[in-house]
């Protein structure tokens, strides 16, 4: 989401103006000229700051294609998975829905991603809108019911991309490195390490602690999500 939002000029302008709008005092909105001047000033500041911070999330000339290819692959597979179900694990929202929806919904609010999401991944739209007001509409499905369309996402996006990357982030930050280099699907993925990456160190630790709860349990496939 961050990559698309702050890469192209059209998306930078759209996002910065919306952010500026939310930061205006209410009384300013009743003063048209002042409102316009303030909004333009805030939007310009936001645009300049954020468009120069793509490196923070690992976006650069080396990683750009890998980032966009991964996002499109996720959208494609998630669209198929959600075609005939309300939420990722069935009829009830979970952390998985909230985690993915935040990125995808915000991408959808930007001009460039909105076009290709609505054109190529239209089956995601009901889920995107449903998650604005999520509710429990039933239970979770069994793994046997989910696995056909969920396993490709877990394998290709989590197992082959996210986990190798976040593991290397953790290792690199523990060694106080300023650059990260890791092989992702046979290609080098290199970028500078910024302060926000510390949150990935924390999230990986939480994932490991949760996984340890199930380690070695033969009935894990039967466990409700």
Reported as a single tens digit per residue, the pLDDT across 173-198 is 999 999 999 999 999 999 998 888 88
> Over 50: is that where the pLDDT of 225 sits?
no
Q: Same domain, yes or no, for 25 and 125?
A: yes
Residue 34's Cβ-count burial label (10 Å; 0-12, 13-18, 19+) is middle
Instruction: Point out the domain boundary residue: 141, 162, 196.
Output: 141
What SS3 state is found at 20? helix
Instruction: Point out the domain boundary residue: 141, 171, 198.
Output: 141
> How long is the chain?
225
* φ, ψ (nearest 5 deg) of residue 222: -95, -5
Residue 39 placed within a domain: no
DSSP string spanning 131-147? Answer: TTS----S-BPPHHHHH
Q: Same domain, yes or no, for 123 and 191?
A: no
Q: Are 53 and 180 in contact (CB under 8 A)?
A: no
pLDDT band, very low/low/confident/very high, at 91 (cuts 50, 70, 90): very high
Q: Which of 176, 147, 41 is CA-nearest to residue 88?
A: 147
Q: Same domain, yes or no, for 2 and 65?
A: yes
Tokens of 97: 């829905």
> Over 80: is that where the pLDDT of 53 sits?
yes
Instruction: Kindly state the percentage of the chain with pLDDT values over 90.
Output: 75
Distance CA 178, CA 172 (A): 8
Question: In terms of residue numbers, what domain contains 159?
Answer: 150-214
CA-based angle 30:105:21, to the nearest 5? 15
Instruction: Point out the domain boundary residue: 91, 121, 141.
Output: 141
The total of structural domains in the chain comes to 2
Q: Which of 108, 150, 99 is CA-nearest to residue 129?
A: 108
Q: Same domain, yes or no, for 168 and 124?
A: no
Q: Same domain, yes or no, for 24 and 85?
A: yes
Distance CA 1, CA 3 (A): 5
Mean pLDDT value across residues 22-40: 87
Q: Same domain, yes or no, for 115 and 204?
A: no
Mean pLDDT value across residues 103-123: 97
Q: Same domain, yes or no, for 85 and 177?
A: no
Distance CA 95, CA 100 (A): 9
Q: What is the CATH number of the domain that holds 121?
A: 1.20.1050
Helices (H), the chain: 2-7, 9-22, 32-51, 64-81, 95-108, 111-120, 125-130, 143-153, 163-174, 198-214
Per-residue pLDDT of 141-167, as tens digits, reads 999 999 999 999 999 999 999 999 999
pTM of full prediction above 0.85: yes
- Residue 136 neighbours by CB under 8 Å, 6+ apart: 91, 92, 93
Per-residue pLDDT of 208-224, as tens digits, reads 998 888 887 766 555 44
Distance CA 45, CA 62 (A): 27
């Amino acid at each position: 989401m961050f990559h698309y939002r702050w890469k192209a000029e059209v998306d930078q302008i759209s996002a910065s103006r919306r952010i500026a709008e939310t930061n205006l005092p209410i009384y300013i909105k009743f003063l048209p000229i002042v409102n316009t001047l303030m909004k333009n000033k805030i939007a310009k500041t936001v645009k300049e700051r954020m468009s120069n911070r793509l490196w923070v999330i690992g976006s650069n000339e080396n990683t750009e294609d890998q980032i966009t290819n991964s996002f499109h692959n996720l959208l494609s597979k998630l669209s198929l998975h959600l075609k005939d179900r309300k939420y990722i694990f069935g009829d009830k929202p979970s952390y998985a829905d909230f985690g993915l929806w935040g990125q995808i919904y915000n991408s959808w609010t930007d001009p460039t991603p909105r076009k290709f999401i609505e054109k190529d991944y239209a089956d995601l739209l009901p889920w995107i809108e449903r998650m604005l007001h999520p509710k429990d509409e039933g239970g979770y499905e069994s793994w046997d019911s989910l696995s056909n369309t969920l396993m490709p996402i877990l394998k290709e996006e989590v197992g082959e991309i996210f986990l190798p990357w976040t593991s290397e982030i953790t290792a690199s930050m523990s060694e106080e490195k300023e650059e990260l280099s890791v092989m992702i699907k046979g290609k080098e993925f290199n970028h500078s390490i910024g302060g926000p990456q510390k949150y990935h160190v924390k999230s990986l630790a939480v994932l490991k602690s949760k996984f340890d709860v199930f380690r070695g349990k033969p009935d894990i496939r039967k466990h409700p999500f």
